Amino acid sequence: MFPFSGKILATFDKRLINKDIDIGFYNPYITSIYFVGRSITAPFWGKLADNYGRKPTLLISMILSSVFVILFAWVDSFTYAIALRFSLGIFHGVVPISTTILIEILPREKTPVVSAFTGAVWYFGYFIGPFIGGMTYGVIKSNYFLLPSLIVFGLNILTVFIVACSY
């Protein structure tokens, strides 16, 4: 998302966005609305996991996230982009659920080390994700965002299978 959010904005309706002036104004909305959705629904995902089980809730969250990631390949307006990013944030309950799972299954003395490692893994994702997105953006000329979206979708689905077969 981060490497090509400006390009996404530049493809939208010119009446909404003046390419020279307003991309910098609209860019924070499209990139940060995901975190707004995620922070609003984190307690909801925790409650769902408490009531229906960690693994099923984690799998549902991952599958729903995957759907919104692949839909983003066809974003064609600022409103659609905001709606998809916000929806992705709403349905991305992976962080609170996976953190809870780790805390529950590990011995108490290993919790601080694993918590720190989990944070490091997330930060690595924030590094490698934009790198892969930037390197694959525009490879498919008919849809610049398709390949990065397909890669993230594929990694999400792979993770769904790994989670489904473990824990």
Distance (Å) of CA 3 to CA 104, 129, 140: 36, 9, 16
Q: Indicate the DSSP class of residue 74.
A: G
Q: Which CATH architecture does the domain made up of 2-164 adopt?
A: Up-down Bundle (1.20)
Domain boundaries, the chain: 2-164
| Series of mean pLDDT values for 10-residue runs along the chain (167 residues) | 68 62 76 92 92 92 91 86 92 85 83 79 81 83 84 87 80
Tell me the whole-structure pTM to 2 decimals: 0.81
Give residue 69's pLDDT: 87
Give residue 117's pLDDT: 79
Give the amino acid at 102.
L
Distance (Å) of CA 163 to CA 9, 32, 73: 35, 28, 25
Give residue 167's pLDDT: 61
Give residue 140's pLDDT: 84
Of 142, 81, 94, the residue nearest 121 (C-alpha): 94
